[in-house]
């Protein structure tokens, strides 16, 4: 080794000041995207922790509530055809209810906190392992959530989820 050789010591700390990980565990959920949303509640602001939302989970939880349009059977040029009537008023009413439920489920999945009913029973858990849709919706309504607050949480969680999904697609 010559005398003019430079020796570099690599510190055990990354440029941001954190030590490198020694172990990566699936239990840590290190790569989950989290954030916060602040909503106005009367004269004060409340900050809620949120997380990215698994869209497949929302879809599977809401599937039993999805309305099916009426099927109309007709005869065209001697051939029986089946078409879905997407303009049926009953279907449109049920679709509006479904969309409302879907919004609540999305928000409940996004909240990074437990949601309890008036009796203190956990109706939705932060890790989404407990999910009582009717109980969760009622608990939020009983807590006084209004549409603007629901929309603020929904928008923030949707933006967070979109960022995560875009990163996954880019991989």
- pTM reported for the whole predicted model: 0.74
pLDDT band of residue 110 (cuts 50, 70, 90) is very high
9 falls within a domain: no
Residue 29 has pLDDT above 80, yes or no: no
Give percent above pLDDT 70 in the chain. 78
Residue 168 confidence (pLDDT): 64
133 falls within a domain: yes
Task: Output the CA–CA distances (angstroms, integers) from residue 93 to 52, 55, 81, 89, 98, in the order listed.
Answer: 29, 24, 25, 6, 9
Residue 28 has pLDDT above 70, yes or no: no
Residue 40 has pLDDT above 80, yes or no: yes
99 falls within a domain: yes
pLDDT in tens, 148-161: 999 999 999 998 88
24 falls within a domain: no
17 falls within a domain: no
Beta-carbon contacts of residue 103 (< 8 Å; ≥ 6 apart)? 150, 154
Number of domains in the chain: 1
d(CA 85, CA 132): 31
106 falls within a domain: yes
Query: Domain range holding 76?
Result: 53-170
22 falls within a domain: no
117 falls within a domain: yes
């Amino acid at each position: 080794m010559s005398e003019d050789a430079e020796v570099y010591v690599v510190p055990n700390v990354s440029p941001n000041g954190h030590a490198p990980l020694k172990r990566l565990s699936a239990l840590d959920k290190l790569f989950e995207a989290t954030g916060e949303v602040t909503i106005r509640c009367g004269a004060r602001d409340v900050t809620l922790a949120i997380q990215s939302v698994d869209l497949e989970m929302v879809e599977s939880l809401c599937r039993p509530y999805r309305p099916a349009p009426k099927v109309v059977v007709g005869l065209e040029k001697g051939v029986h055809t089946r078409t879905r009537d997407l303009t049926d008023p009953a279907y449109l009413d049920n679709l509006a209810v479904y969309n409302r439920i879907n919004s609540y489920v999305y928000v409940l999945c996004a909240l990074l906190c437990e949601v309890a009913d008036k009796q203190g029973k956990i109706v939705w858990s932060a890790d989404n392992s407990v999910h009582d849709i009717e109980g969760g919706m009622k608990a939020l309504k009983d807590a006084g959530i209004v549409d603007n607050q629901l929309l603020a949480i929904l928008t923030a969680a949707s933006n967070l989820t979109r960022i995560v999904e875009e990163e996954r697609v880019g991989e």
